């Protein structure tokens, strides 16, 4: 199922980009890890774990609706993390 594969890639890429953004902001603002950055990275990792677990669930009746819900949840949580990242700047 290509859609599951693409969804997993999207989750990985989006959250990976957010983590990379934290490192870039921290490096340009002084070079050291910050509490805010660490919280964003932890949030991204938790979100990754939650979403991958949901994608890997087997006992789903309506798979299309389930995966659309996971994609929507990714968008919502990623936007929240990006807002937190933007507040670091």
Report the pLDDT value the prediction gives residue 32, as an integer from 0 to 100. 79
Q: Enumerate residue ranges in the chain where pLDDT < 50.
A: none
pLDDT score of 88: 83
Torsion (CA) 57, 13, 84, 69 in degrees, nearest 10: -30
Domain total for the chain?
Answer: 1
> How far is Cα 25 from Cα 8, in angstroms, rounded to an integer?
26
Give me the domain span that covers residue 81. 2-88
């Amino acid at each position: 199922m290509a859609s599951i594969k693409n969804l997993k890639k999207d989750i990985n890429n989006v959250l990976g980009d957010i983590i990379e953004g934290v490192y870039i902001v921290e490096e340009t603002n002084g070079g050291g890890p910050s509490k805010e950055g660490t919280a964003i990275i932890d949030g991204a990792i938790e979100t990754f774990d939650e979403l991958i677990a949901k994608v890997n669930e087997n006992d789903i009746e309506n798979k299309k609706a389930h995966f659309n819900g996971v994609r929507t949840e990714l968008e919502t949580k990623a936007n929240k993390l990006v807002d937190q990242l933007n507040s670091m700047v």
